[in-house]
Structure 1
Amino acid sequence: MTGLQQTTWTGVIPIEDTALTVTDSGGSGRPIVYLNGSYATQRDWHPVIAELGSGWRHITYDERARGGSKRSADYSFEACVRDLDAVLQATRVERPLLVGWSYGAILAVHWADRHPKRVAGVVSVDGAMPYGLTGEESRKRIRKLFRRMRVLLPLASRLGLAARMTADQHAEINIEANQLSADLVPILDRLACPVRYVIATGGHTGAGADEMAQVRASLRPVLARNPNLRVSVEVASNHEALLRKDFRAIAEVVRETAAVQDQHAH
């Protein structure tokens, strides 16, 4: 976070039955709000933020039961939407550039769809693709995967790789995210802001490279219909390693998306 520490504010925003840890670099630069993967923390964005530097206003936060944020009785997607609203209100940010990874990308496009005049653009990092594992067999598969991992989850949460939730709660977030992804087509079709994708080429936990190739291929028809959406870059990393290994490519796509918005403004 070199060069950002002098003006950086870190604090807690209370919302409903919980409280979110938030970091805001401050300054007059274009505001970027970073949206984490399902079980990730704001720390994952540090390489991208350092690469972009102090000319931007960087805002990160931990979702409920992740990182430094407190637990809650509600881990639903709509709770995540309300959390983003609360962070924007508390930081008084208008027209942010939303940069989301995985689950965070789904949140970004949903929020952009609901607030088309309040968003500058979206950078989707290997997320927000209209493909999801739905149906009872898929739900069983997801629940089984997380129950197998239940002994490791407390350790993983301390490393920032999981939430402070039960295995079943982890699974339900994943199941809901898959349904949200499967239902994305109408949202992606009508997005009016610039949306730029950073796509990985490898697999990830619970889905091999072949299955992830199907997920990414689901974007093609939407890209053909909506000129506001574009794949800016494909990188060799897998889904989990993107932010760590390809932060320079992600930062470059952030710059590209901001430049597109600037052109639209003129």
Structure 2
Amino acid sequence: MSTQDSHFTVHHDGVAIQVSRGGRGRPLVLCPGLLTTQADLCELIELLRRDHDVVAFDLRGHGLTSAADRYTFEAFLGDFGAVMAESDHHAPLLVGHSLGADLAVHYAADHPDAVSGLVLVDGANPVPEPFLTEADLPEFRAMAEGLRHEFERVAGTARQVLLAPQDFLDLNIEIEAVRSGILDRYREIDCPIHLIMSTSMAGNGDDDRARWRNENWRAGAERLARERPHLSTSWLDAHHRLVVTHAPEIARLIRDAGKATC
């Protein structure tokens, strides 16, 4: 199947979700992560379009998608389902980064016949220990406040993020809770799954907390591999923004994973 580049809007839960479609080949739906937009993923999208019919979209409150009155995991998952329903792709390969990976896992668990395979990039990880404890909340609050200036800098552009700092903090806390039960969701999925994980999810800092977070991240992926032995994993020497910094490598790994679902 061949398609020309097109853009359309999906309306769901009071949100106008901006969707793009283009390329030729196997159907693929790409879901970005928190604080990431289609504009940030432009290199990866163009590479994937060489041999995939790619549907991509901006999350609520991100990029060209409108703001919302709530930013919860269930709200994002509902938007994801609405895009899937409007895309008219039959059993696409789902690719998700970070929060997008968690959304892909939950969608596939709820719709087992609607997906041919999953490629999960640095997300949906059943880490043994939670990243966010009471001791970490001041650090994450400071991080959220620091992001406010970045949000304001790109306001009105394809890279804008409309979440308030408290929305960002609350959503991260909720994602922790969701991931605590994500192994059960994996058990409901029969299609092929490939993980693409970063070796330095929390960066390359020398502080004990960053090292612990990176070790916890690897331990989660290894835990998942033990639970689901047919799952495959690739590790990239990168940080959590690997979909932006390592687009060619990510595209190659997605292409290889897609062949395994044929």
Query: 2:201 touches 2:217 (CA, 8 Å); kept in 1?
Result: no
Q: Verify: 1:248 aligned to 2:248, yes or no.
A: yes
Q: CA deviation at 1:134?
A: 4.7
Q: Partner residue of 1:182?
A: 180
Query: 1:34 touches 1:45 (CA, 8 Å); kept in 2?
Result: no
TM-score normalized by structure 2?
0.87
Query: 1:66 touches 1:157 (CA, 8 Å); kept in 2?
Result: no
Q: Partner residue of 1:218?
A: 220
* Deviations, residues 225-247 of structure 1 (Å, cap 9, x unaligned): 3133210x21111112x123322
Percent sequence identity is 25
Decide which moves more: 111-120 or 244-253. 244-253
* Deviations, residues 112-156 of structure 1 (Å, cap 9, x unaligned): 111111111111111111123355444454334313543443225
* Deviations, residues 192-226 of structure 1 (Å, cap 9, x unaligned): 11110111112437972431221221121321231
1:142 alignment partner, SS class = helix
Taking structure 1 as reference, are residues 244 and 134 closer, same or farther at Cα in structure 2, changes over 3 Å only?
A: closer
Q: Partner residue of 1:234?
A: 235
1:70 alignment partner, SS class = coil
Query: 1:203 touches 1:210 (CA, 8 Å); kept in 2?
Result: no
Over the aligned positions, Cα root-mean-square deviation in angstroms equals: 2.4
TM-score normalized by structure 1?
0.86
Query: 1:133 touches 1:182 (CA, 8 Å); kept in 2?
Result: no
Q: CA deviation at 1:162?
A: 6.3
Q: Partner residue of 2:7?
A: 10
Decide which moves more: 91-100 or 125-134. 125-134
Q: Distance in 2 between matches of 1:167 and 1:180?
A: 20
1:1-266 mapped onto 2 (5 Å cutoff): 7-25=4-22, 27=24, 29-131=25-127, 132-139=130-137, 141-155=139-153, 163-204=161-202, 208-231=210-233, 233-240=234-241, 242-262=242-262
Decide which moves more: 131-140 or 110-119. 131-140
Q: CA deviation at 1:76?
A: 1.0
Number of residues of Structure 1 aligned to a counterpart in Structure 2: 255
Q: CA deviation at 1:185?
A: 1.9
Question: Any gaps of 5 or more consecutive residues in structure 2?
Answer: none
2:40 alignment partner, SS class = helix
Q: Distance in 2 between matches of 1:41 and 1:133?
A: 24
Q: CA deviation at 1:251?
A: 1.5
Decide which moves more: 186-195 or 153-162. 153-162
Q: Distance in 2 between matches of 1:188 and 1:139?
A: 29
* Deviations, residues 52-87 of structure 1 (Å, cap 9, x unaligned): 343310111001110001011121111111111111
Decide which moves more: 199-208 or 82-91. 199-208
Q: Distance in 1 between matches of 2:159 and 2:39?
A: 11
Taking structure 1 as reference, are residues 215 and 184 closer, same or farther at Cα in structure 2, changes over 3 Å only?
A: same
Taking structure 1 as reference, are residues 20 and 65 closer, same or farther at Cα in structure 2, changes over 3 Å only?
A: same
* Deviations, residues 156-176 of structure 1 (Å, cap 9, x unaligned): 556766621211011111111
Decide which moves more: 34-43 or 86-95. 86-95
2:54 alignment partner, SS class = strand
Q: Distance in 2 between matches of 1:90 and 1:194?
A: 24
Taking structure 1 as reference, are residues 156 and 210 closer, same or farther at Cα in structure 2, changes over 3 Å only?
A: farther
Taking structure 1 as reference, are residues 26 and 234 closer, same or farther at Cα in structure 2, changes over 3 Å only?
A: closer
